[in-house]
Amino acid sequence: MKNNQTIAELLANVNSAYLTDAEKYEAIARAERAEYIVAGISSAIKAVKKAALKLKAVFVSSSAQHA
């Protein structure tokens, strides 16, 4: 089973007594930004893969009709 906690939730469990509030908020903001970037890249890769599979299906079926 996958653990679907966000990085911000995981950072809440880290001992951050040595950090100021500003540093804590900055770490959370950076973590959320990184998650957003990774999600965007993952979505783009999935879209390209889906488009490639559709193109492959079109070319395979059209070449099969000529055989």
| pLDDT score recorded for residue 66 | 54
Contact 47, 67 (CB under 8 A): no
- In this prediction, residues 22-41 reach a mean pLDDT of 92
- What are the φ and ψ backbone dihedral angles of 3, each rounded to 5 degrees? -95, 115
Domain spans in the chain, listed from the N-terminal domain onward: 7-66
Tell me the per-residue pLDDT of 36-64, one tens digit each, with 9 for 90 and over: 999 999 999 999 999 999 998 888 876 55
With a pLDDT cut of 90, the percent of the chain lying above it is 43
Task: Specify the higher pLDDT residue, 67 or 40.
Answer: 40
Residues with Cβ within 8 Å of 27's Cβ and at least 6 positions away in sequence, in order, are: 11, 16, 19
